[in-house]
């Protein structure tokens, strides 16, 4: 892996860790004692610090080290986690993101921006009063710590050393007391308990054999390996077991928690890595396990012979490890195994490469259609079966390629938890965010482009919609407001709703503002829906006083323009004192869809298949009544309709002897499109029309047919909406 590739991996991993940290902090506001979320915040800072150190990003390392130290004390209970500290940690999270961006963008050796450095110093100053292990505090407390250490037995550092000498120890020149004397040079021996259980009766007593054993309580601030080295020359003449003090067990548990999950290791390797087990202890246990395996293999009755014991069980039996540490190591091993299994199912793919693949699949679809046309045109019946198989394979490739780019919208929704938290604090409002349908999938390109419009709409709901707590209570509402984000699939589209239970909108106020701005003529009559849609006009705002968040009438027109640029629609409904709902409807993908090809005159059009309800032939269907007022009664249901020939002004105005009505649906609205020919289903590659045609009404794009001809893709949403607006004034429809 190149350095640049490794750097990009660090940037992505840091971003993922910071997102996880933000989610954990949001959860900690509700449950400050949640250990898992505390560990998540700690791990984010710990991992970023370690990886940044590899690249030499010292500003990142220095800042995250301070936050990591604080979170370690929070986990241990030395520092209490309250709302003020969580607020500082949010700022630390944001500052870390800035540091990572600055470090990865800067040239080698470039100094940190002074403003960014000052921001970090200010955050560290806010954390310093809570840090009990700060440098100044450590220096001031050194004398007190030394005095406390001298005046106590130091129970937190008491090791338990078990020595059992073998019979030939004395013959080999071993002096059991010499080890006790040497231990005194390393620390303090609290107690020595002799063990003479191996002493036989006097008749078989051998004065040259050693029957001694000791259990030593040893106080020393050292590691297990250093104590084991004391008995290095006696390991062939005695059995040694070293159990750590309680403080060391807690230390091992913390090390296990901080251990990376990226590599699956054996239990013994994990314990050796954290220092809870020495290589010699592991070797001794492995030898014991091998002996037991040989004995099992030599057993005659295999069916009754138990399986070889796990290495952990042997280590506990030999007193080499404590059960809590072993259990934690096994959990870490299982977690690493699960993570490795999960990660092995996924790979990171450059979005540009994936986009190129989708483009190639689109060209494959077009050429496959051309091949079918050529086969049909030349009457090559022998290859029909092969063509059908290729067509099926192309469809499978298309569907799977598009599925690669599908992502859940829940990740985008979750980011607004932070927005709601920060904005509600700024506005001094109590607001709850509810997320529904987070597992709904859509094209990543759509997700990337919908984030900004959603952010603006959510901020509007927080600022314009939700009232202050006292105002809500005066209206008989709960003091805590609610903003709801939801998503679901409908007819090949995704429907996103932003709903609040706030003050709602006043149609009369909107209409008055619109007339004052010249957006509506004084004599013009608008329906309630049309008045509410004026919110999306440039410059219109119902806010009397502008704020930092919204209120200048800038943005809602941009929201609509961005959504319409994605071939989507946005509508608003509101009831005063009950709330407002903004509904966004977007296509699931911007690349390839299943279409239904129709024709009128010499022109052909594609209707998204998911929006086609049915097709009926006008003139041969008894239940269909033709009218001249552009609506039709279909089995008792009144539908507005239009003739594509008339709408696009193509060909002459004469009607075909046989016309077909294609009933389409968008959301809860139905409409009819009258065409001359029905050609059937086809895979449609969506091609943009370019800037010169971007404002062409009723058209969402174009596609290349197998014949090489161009067919326009109809925008069913716009056509349906336009028909219902026009027909809503018709008296016949008003009675329905």
Instruction: Give the domain extent around 129.
Output: 3-135
Residue 415 lies in a domain: yes
- Axis-axis angle for helices 83-105, 3-30 (nearest 10): 170
- Tell whether 618 is covered by a domain: yes
Question: Same domain, yes or no, for 285 and 359?
Answer: no
Could you tell me if 337 and 356 lie in one domain? no
Residue 482 has pLDDT above 50, yes or no: yes
Look at residue 647 and give its three-state secondary structure: helix
* pLDDT value of position 548: 54
Co-location of 166 and 288 in the same domain: yes
What is the Cα–Cα distance from 522 to 538, expressed in whole angstroms?
A: 19
Please tell me whether residues 653 and 622 are part of one structural domain: yes
**pLDDT band of 733, cuts 50, 70, 90:** very low
Tokens of 483: 């903003």
Over residues 698-707, the pLDDT tens digits come to 888 889 888 8
Average pLDDT, the chain: 81
What percent of the chain clears pLDDT 90, i.e. is strictly above it? 18
463 falls within a domain: yes
Confirm whether 150 is domain-assigned: no
Statement to judge: residues 481 and 578 lie in one domain: yes
- As a whole number of angstroms, the distance between CA 442 and CA 450 comes to 11
Does residue 607 surpass a pLDDT of 90?
yes
Question: Would you place residue 588 in the very low, low, confident or very high pLDDT band (cuts 50, 70, 90)?
Answer: confident
User: So what's the pLDDT on residue 502?
Assistant: 92
Q: pLDDT value at position 154?
A: 43
* Residue 515 clears pLDDT 60, i.e. is over it: yes
pLDDT of residue 43: 87
Residue 223: inside a domain: yes
pLDDT at 736: 42
If pLDDT is split at 50, 70 and 90, which confidence band does 620 have? very low
Q: For 177-235, what is each residue's pLDDT tens digit?
A: 888 888 888 888 888 888 777 676 777 788 888 888 888 888 888 888 888 888 877 77
The pair of three-digit structure tokens given for residue 195, joined into one six-digit string = 């063990």
H/E element, 600: strand 592-600
CATH code of the domain containing 616: 2.40.50.180
Q: Which two tokens stand for residue 622?
A: 């008894």
Are both 415 and 367 inside the same structural domain? no
CATH number of the domain within which 547 lies:
3.30.565.10
Q: Is residue 141 situated within a structural domain? A: no
Going by C-alpha positions, the residue among 201, 206, 191, 320 that lies closest to residue 252 is: 320
Share of the chain above pLDDT 70, in %: 85
- The token pair at 687 is 């091609």
What is the structure's pLDDT at 67? 93
Q: Are 574 and 587 in contact (CB under 8 A)?
A: no
pLDDT at 2 over 70: no
pLDDT at site 728: 59
For the packed helices 444-460 and 416-426, what is the interaxial angle rounded to 10 degrees? 20
Q: What is the CATH number of the domain that holds 243?
A: 3.30.70.260
At 92 the pLDDT is 94
Of the residues 104, 135, 166, the one at which a domain ends: 135
Res 152: pLDDT: 36
pLDDT of 615 reads 92
What pLDDT, on the 0 to 100 scale, is given for residue 518?
A: 85
Q: Last residue of some domain: 373, 389, 405?
A: 405
Q: Are 527 and 663 in the same domain?
A: no
Query: Do residues 701 and 625 share a domain?
Result: yes
pLDDT digits (tens, 9 = 90+) for 121-131: 999 999 988 88
Q: Which two tokens stand for residue 437?
A: 């349908």
Which of residues 405, 432, 448 is at a domain's end? 405
In this structure, what are the phi and psi dihedrals at residue 200, rounded to the nearest 5 degrees?
Answer: -85, 180
For residue 299, the model assigns a pLDDT of 67
Residue-wise pLDDT tens digits, 266-320:
888 888 877 788 888 888 888 888 888 887 777 655 555 556 788 888 888 877 7
In a domain, 145, yes or no: no
Highest mean pLDDT among 139-148, 164-173, 328-337, 686-695 belongs to 164-173
Please tell me which of 311-315, 330-334, 494-498 the model is most confident about, judged by mean pLDDT: 494-498
Res 56 pLDDT > 60: yes
In a domain, 146, yes or no: no
Residues 437 and 312 reside in one and the same domain:
no
Q: Using CA atoms, how far apart are residues 460 and 467, in angstroms rounded to an integer?
A: 12
- State whether 627 and 551 are in the same domain: no
Report the pLDDT value the prediction gives residue 143, as an integer from 0 to 100. Answer: 38
Q: What is the pTM of this model?
A: 0.66
**Is residue 120 domain-shared with residue 192, that is, in the same domain?**
no
If asked whether residues 505 and 421 sit together in one domain, one would say: yes
Number of domains in the chain: 5
pLDDT of residue 601: 83
CATH number of 109's domain: 1.20.120.160
List all residues 6 or more positions away from 435 whose beta carbon is below 8 Å from its beta carbon.
410, 413, 414, 484, 485, 486
- Give the confidence band of 466 by pLDDT, cuts at 50, 70, 90: very high
pLDDT, position 499: 95
């Amino acid at each position: 892996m190149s350095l640049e590739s490794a750097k990009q991996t660090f940037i992505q991993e840091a971003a993922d860790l910071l997102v996880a940290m933000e989610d954990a902090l949001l959860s900690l506001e509700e449950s400050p004692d949640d250990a898992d979320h505390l560990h998540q915040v700690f791990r984010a800072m710990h991992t970023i610090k370690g990886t940044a150190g590899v690249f030499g990003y010292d500003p990142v390392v220095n800042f995250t080290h301070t936050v990591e130290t604080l979170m370690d004390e929070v986990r241990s209970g030395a520092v209490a986690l309250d709302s003020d500290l969580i607020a500082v940690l949010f700022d630390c999270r944001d500052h870390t993101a800035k540091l990572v961006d600055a470090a990865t963008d800067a040239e080698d050796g470039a100094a940190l921006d002074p403003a960014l450095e000052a921001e970090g110093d200010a955050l560290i100053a806010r954390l310093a009063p809570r840090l009990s292990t700060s440098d100044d505090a450590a220096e001031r407390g050194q004398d007190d710590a030394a005095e406390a250490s001298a005046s106590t037995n130091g129970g937190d550092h008491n090791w338990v050393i078990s020595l059992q000498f073998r019979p030939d120890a004395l013959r080999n020149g071993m002096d059991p007391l010499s080890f006790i004397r040497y231990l005194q040079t390393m620390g303090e021996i609290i107690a020595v308990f002799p063990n003479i259980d191996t002493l036989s009766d006097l008749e078989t007593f051998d004065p040259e054999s050693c029957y001694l054993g000791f259990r030593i309580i040893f106080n020393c601030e050292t590691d297990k390996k250093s104590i084991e080295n004391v008995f290095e020359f006696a390991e062939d003449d005695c059995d040694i077991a070293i159990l750590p003090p309680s403080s060391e067990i807690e230390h091992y548990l913390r090390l296990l928690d901080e251990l990376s999950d990226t590599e699956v290791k054996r239990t013994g390797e994990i314990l050796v890595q954290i220092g809870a087990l020495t290589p010699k202890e592991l070797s001794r246990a492995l030898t014991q396990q091998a002996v037991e395996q040989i004995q099992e293999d030599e057993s005659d009755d295999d069916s009754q012979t138990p399986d070889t014991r796990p290495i952990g069980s042997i280590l506990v039996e030999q007193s080499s490890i404590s059960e809590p540490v072993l259990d934690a190591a096994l959990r870490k091993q299982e977690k690493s195994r699960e993570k490795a299994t999960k990660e092995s199912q996924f790979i990171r793919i450059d979005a540009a490469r994936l986009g190129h693949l989708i483009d190639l699949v689109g060209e494959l679809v077009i050429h496959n259609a051309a091949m079918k046309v050529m086969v049909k045109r030349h009457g090559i019946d022998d290859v029909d079966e092969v063509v059908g198989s290729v067509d099926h394979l192309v469809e499978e490739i298309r569907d799977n390629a598009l599925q690669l780019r599908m992502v859940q919208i829940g990740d985008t929704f979750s980011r607004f938890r932070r927005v709601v938290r920060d904005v509600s604090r700024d506005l001094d409002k109590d607001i709850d965010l509810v997320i529904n349908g987070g597992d709904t999938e859509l094209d990543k390109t759509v997700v990337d482009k919908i984030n900004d419009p959603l952010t603006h709409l959510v901020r509007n709901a927080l600022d314009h919609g939700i009232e202050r707590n006292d105002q809500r209570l005066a209206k008989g509402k709960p003091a805590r407001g609610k903003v709801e984000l939801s998503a679901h699939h409908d007819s090949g589209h995704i429907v996103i709703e932003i709903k609040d239970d706030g003050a709602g909108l006043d149609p009369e106020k909107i209409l008055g503002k619109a007339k004052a701005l010249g957006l509506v003529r004084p004599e013009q009559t608008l329906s309630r829906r049309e008045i509410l849609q004026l919110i999306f006009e440039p410059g219109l705002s119902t806010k009397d006083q502008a704020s930092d968040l919204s209120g200048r009438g800038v943005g809602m027109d941009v929201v609509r323009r961005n959504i319409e640029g994605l071939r989507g629609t946005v509508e608003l409904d509101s009831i005063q004192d009950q709330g407002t709902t903004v509904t966004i409807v977007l296509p699931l993908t911007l690349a390839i869809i299943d279409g239904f090809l129709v024709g009128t005159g010499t022109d052909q059009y594609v209707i998204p298949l998911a929006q086609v309800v049915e097709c009926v032939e006008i003139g041969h269907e008894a239940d269909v009544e033709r009218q001249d007022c552009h609506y039709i009664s279909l089995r008792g249901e009144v539908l507005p309709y239009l003739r594509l020939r008339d709408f696009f002004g193509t060909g002459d105005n004469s009607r075909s002897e046989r016309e077909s009505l294609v009933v389409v649906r968008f959301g809860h609205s139905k409409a009819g499109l009258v065409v001359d020919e029905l050609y059937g289903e086809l895979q449609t590659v969506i091609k943009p029309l370019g800037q010169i045609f971007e404002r062409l009404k009723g058209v969402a794009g174009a596609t290349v047919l197998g014949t090489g001809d161009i067919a326009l893709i109809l925008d069913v949403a716009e056509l349906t909406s336009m028909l219902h607006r026009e027909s809503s004034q018709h008296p016949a429809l008003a009675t329905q």
